[in-house]
């Protein structure tokens, strides 16, 4: 059996009160997984723990076999993290930024330049490749940040609300790049509030409510579980996260 790209087991985190409770998720190479849940359900906290930005209180995370607690560098080397708040240096151009990030990852210069050109093309940033990022819109900065996250050719991409603030054209470019990545065996885990995006892009969907994973599966599996095949993802989602599904914590 191939090695999972992401294996989360019994993950827990409290900030005064528990916000992530005994969450386990296993993703294989090439999977696209969407984490859905109401505001405050714990989605970003899980992603931040996977990215190594927050330490779990309990549980284990392994990325392509690298335990994030005992081998954080090994785990980070195969991971890309793109937050919903793009951090890009204003004074650099997209090409300079990608060169800089590739240098941090020690990607050989020629390979880095080739990947940068490809990513800038894919994300329709080529015409702006040599303009300073300082004048860019938030959507353009998000695309530059995504390109930066992909320049070291990660095996796991972690995305927090990747399409927020993108216009239809940019959202399509990002979706196409992500779909292309999964075709080449890269695994993606993302949070989204846009149910249509989860429905269209993700192979599997996990629904989080009050810090717990209350359902997981393909859309067809979630429908079958809800007992009615004609239900939309929105109907299923609202049923799953309704207060009676999770007690009074919501
Ligand atoms: N650094 C922190 N300190 C204290 N509480 C935190 C911290 N980070 C998150 N929380 C709390 O943990 C809970 C889960 O937050 P999280 O951001 O993971 O939810 P989310 O599902 O991503 O929500 P949203 O959809 O609104 O982004 C929230 O109640 C939040 O206030």
Alpha carbon of 15 to ligand 1 centroid (Å): 9
Atom 12 (ligand 1): residue with closest C-alpha? 19
Residue 250 confidence (pLDDT): 32
Atom 2 (ligand 1): residue with closest C-alpha? 15
Q: Which of these, 217, 156, 205, lies nearest to 30 by C-alpha position?
A: 156
Strands 58-63 and 32-36: unpaired
Alpha carbon of 93 to ligand 1 centroid (Å): 33
Q: Please list the residues that pair with 14 across neighbouring strands.
A: 18
As for the ipTM of the complex, it is 0.97
Residue 123 confidence (pLDDT): 92
Domains of the chain, residue spans = 1-78+159-167+194-250
Residue 246 confidence (pLDDT): 47
Atom 16 (ligand 1): residue with closest C-alpha? 42
C-beta of residue 81 within 8 angstroms of C-beta of residue 158: yes
Classified by CATH at the fold level, domain 1-78+159-167+194-250 comes out as Rossmann fold (3.40.50)
Q: Which atom of ligand 1 is nearest to the CA of 211?
A: 14
Q: Which of these, 238, 196, 197, lies nearest to 215 by C-alpha position?
A: 238
Residue 248 confidence (pLDDT): 39
> What's the pTM value of the predicted model, to 2 decimals?
0.90
Per-residue pLDDT tens, the chain, 250 aa: give them: 789 999 999 999 999 999 999 999 999 999 999 999 999 999 999 999 999 999 999 999 999 999 999 999 999 999 999 887 778 888 999 999 999 999 998 999 999 999 999 999 999 999 999 999 998 988 899 899 999 999 999 999 999 988 877 888 888 888 999 999 999 999 999 998 888 888 888 999 999 999 999 999 998 888 887 777 777 888 888 888 876 544 433 3
Alpha carbon of 40 to ligand 1 centroid (Å): 5
Alpha carbon of 46 to ligand 1 centroid (Å): 10
Q: Could you give the 3-state DSSP secondary structure of residue 205? A: strand
Alpha carbon of 138 to ligand 1 centroid (Å): 23
Region at 120 (left for phi over 0; alpha for psi -120 to 50; beta for the rest): alpha
3-state SS of the chain: helix, strand, coil percent to 5?
40, 25, 35
Find the residues whose C-beta lies inside 6 A of ligand 1.
15, 19, 37, 39-45
Atom 4 (ligand 1): residue with closest C-alpha? 15
């Amino acid at each position: 059996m191939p090695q999972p790209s992401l294996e989360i087991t019994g993950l827990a985190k409290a900030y005064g009160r528990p916000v992530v409770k005994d969450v386990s998720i296993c993703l294989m190479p090439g999977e696209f997984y969407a984490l859905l849940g109401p505001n405050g359900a714990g989605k970003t906290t899980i992603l931040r723990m996977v990215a190594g930005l927050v330490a779990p209180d309990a549980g284990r995370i392994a990325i392509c076999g690298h335990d994030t607690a005992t081998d954080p560098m090994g785990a980070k080397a195969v991971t890309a993290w793109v937050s919903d708040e793009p951090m890009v240096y204003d004074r650099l151009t997209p090409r300079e930024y990608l060169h800089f990030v590739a240098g941090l990852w020690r990607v050989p210069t020629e390979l880095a330049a080739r990947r940068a050109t490809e990513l800038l093309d894919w994300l329709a940033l080529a015409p702006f490749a040599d303009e300073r990022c300082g004048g860019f819109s938030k959507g353009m900065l998000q695309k530059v940040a995504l390109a930066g996250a992909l320049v070291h050719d990660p095996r796991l991409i972690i995305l927090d609300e990747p399409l927020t603030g993108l216009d239809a054209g940019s959202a399509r470019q990002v979706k196409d790049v992500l779909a292309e990545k999964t075709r080449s065996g890269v695994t993606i885990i993302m949070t989204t509030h846009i149910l249509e995006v989860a429905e269209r892009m993700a192979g599997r969907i996990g629904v989080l409510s009050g810090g717990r994973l209350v359902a997981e599966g393909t859309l067809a599996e979630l429908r079958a579980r809800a007992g009615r095949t004609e239900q939309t993802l929105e109907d299923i989602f609202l049923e799953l996260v309704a207060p009676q599904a999770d007690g009074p914590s919501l």
